[in-house]
Structure 1
Amino acid sequence: MSRRDCLGWIAKAGLASLLPVSLPVLARAGGQLEEPLADPVRLALRAAIEQPAPPEPEFSHPEAKLAYLRWLGAMSPRLVRRKPELQTRVEFLQTVWYESRRAGLDESLVLGLIQVESAFRKFAVSPVGARGYMQVMPFWARLIGDGDPSKLFLMQANIRFGCVILRHYLERERGDLFLALGRYNGSRGRPEYPNAVFAAQKNWRLA
């Protein structure tokens, strides 16, 4: 489905109205640790840097397309305060949907993590240098690509890195999301960060 189709569908549905979303204080993922990654993971992350355009979703059957449109229509108005321009908002949500599913993560979890980490600010930078929507540490760019940390501000690259890193930590923690989120934030075993993400996740669940 093209972005033009998505924009038209949202506009016709009258979903560009403002709905309030409470956003918590920024909590950055400055404690990510450099760890060895499997070759397929490295290739996936490198591809995100080399192809920074928002991915175009593909659907195997009409029901899947309709489900995506319903999700997009539900999420778009919740994000208006942070991303008032419709095309920018749709491209962001489209990328979150694509990369979340690609990594086997719940979209609401990824949106909740982004809310906590950067308050949906594309160019957020932490005191320790974590960058972008998902506050990815610069060493990941060195580990995967040419070491240029500015590429972590590319939307698809940043969201893919964040999703793949969280999936990596989830596998390290044998499916324990509480511990995986703590590892993502560098506060493994403490409840503050996972609880903040879980609370924010509630804003992005479908009714």
Structure 2
Amino acid sequence: MHSKPLARLAIPLLALLVPLALRAETEQPAAPTLAPVTVPPPTTPTPTLTPDSAPVLEPAPVAEPARPVRPTPPERPRPSRAEVQALIPDVARRHGVEEALIRAVVAAESNYNAHAVSPVGAVGLMQLMPPTAADYGVTSVADLFDPRINLNTGTRHIKRLLRKYKNDYGRVIMAYNAGEGVVDRTNSQVTYQETLNYTEAVIRHYRRYGGTAPTQTALDQVQTLRTVRNTSQARRLLKKYLDPSLLSLKVKPTLDVRSLNPALHDVGPESKPMFELNTTVIR
């Protein structure tokens, strides 16, 4: 009897419940957004260094010193020997230096080559070093290739050396080649092979060009200095290669201190020697 009224109520209830269920299904709350988690990088434990495990540090490379740039001769034609010789008399008169000496220095230094450059950077006819030329107001290396400028500058330098060494040609020539400092420091006993050869060559050129100043003493000194140089070289070789222990006998006492007194030393066939040669040092 009651089933029909309940059926009538069920249909409206279902009509209400189905839309609610569908709405609840579509309006589910969104999942919460999680903030990104930053994971720190794994830390490597610092190793404890011991003398055996310490890293070997390579030494920093040492830069080689820059080599000085050698002067470059000009591209213009080189003056001939005759052109250079024609300039020397005027230069000699201007500075009051014997012409034969200038010609001798030019012949020994460059053989009249105005464009000559030495391995160490000496320039021109009289092979002037740029710092030396700068002392006489010539600061341009290019100017030293000009034969007139080179002759005037080199002759001024010779003139000053003649005044300093009181016209001693031997000392002047040595100082022109080796430098005043070397001549002064060694009291003119320069034993450089190059300087000895140079001094001898200049003096021989000087004599051939008609020079009249006394130069035999200078030549004799060159021969003496050659002997000194050879003796010093032999001494250096002995010191380098000879074992000094072979130059002396090493002995050791065989008796006590009291018996070393010659007055107390026993004499006879059974006596012992006071000293014996230490043969362990002989090779």
TM-score normalised according to structure 1 size: 0.52
Larger CA Rg, structure 1 vs 2: 2
Per residue, is there more helix in 1 or in 2? 1
Q: In structure 2, do the counterparts of structure 1 residues 173 and 155 end up closer, same or farther at CA, with 3 Å as the change threshold?
A: same
Once the 2 structures are TM-superposed, how far is the Cα of residue 92 of structure 1 from its aligned partner?
Answer: 1.9
Q: State the partner residue of 2:171.
A: 179
Which one of the candidate residues 94, 103, 107 is aligned to 1:111? 103
1:100 alignment partner AA: A
Distance 1:90 1:196 in 2: 21
Q: State the partner residue of 2:134.
A: 142
- Between the two proteins, the alignment pairs up a number of residues equal to 121
Q: State the partner residue of 1:95.
A: 87
Once the 2 structures are TM-superposed, how far is the Cα of residue 102 of structure 1 from its aligned partner?
Answer: 1.9
Q: State the partner residue of 1:46.
A: none
Q: In structure 2, do the counterparts of structure 1 residues 109 and 144 end up closer, same or farther at CA, with 3 Å as the change threshold?
A: closer
Deviations 1:27-46 (A, max 9, x none): xxxxxxxxxxxxxxxxxxxx
Q: In structure 2, do the counterparts of structure 1 residues 200 and 147 end up closer, same or farther at CA, with 3 Å as the change threshold?
A: same
Which one of the candidate residues 183, 190, 193 is aligned to 2:198? 193
SS at match of 1:127: coil
1:135 alignment partner AA: Q
Q: Which has the higher contact order (CA 8 A, sep 6+)?
A: 1
2:198 alignment partner AA: Y
Identity over aligned residues, as a percent? 28
Q: In structure 2, do the counterparts of structure 1 residues 195 and 141 end up closer, same or farther at CA, with 3 Å as the change threshold?
A: closer
Which has the larger displacement, 104-113 or 154-163?
104-113
Unaligned 5+ runs, structure 1: 1-82
1:143 alignment partner AA: D
Once the 2 structures are TM-superposed, how far is the Cα of residue 199 of structure 1 from its aligned partner?
Answer: 0.6
Distance 2:206 2:130 in 1: 26
**Which stretches of structure 1, 4 residues or more, deviate above 3 A after TM superposition?**
88-91, 140-146
* 2:123 is equivalent to residue 131 of structure 1: yes
Deviations 1:2-24 (A, max 9, x none): xxxxxxxxxxxxxxxxxxxxxxx
SS at match of 2:135: helix
Distance 1:181 1:118 in 2: 15
Deviations 1:38-71 (A, max 9, x none): xxxxxxxxxxxxxxxxxxxxxxxxxxxxxxxxxx
SS at match of 1:183: helix
Distance 1:184 1:146 in 2: 18
Once the 2 structures are TM-superposed, how far is the Cα of residue 93 of structure 1 from its aligned partner?
Answer: 2.1
Q: CA RMSD in A?
A: 2.3
Once the 2 structures are TM-superposed, how far is the Cα of residue 146 of structure 1 from its aligned partner?
Answer: 6.2
Distance 1:126 1:117 in 2: 9
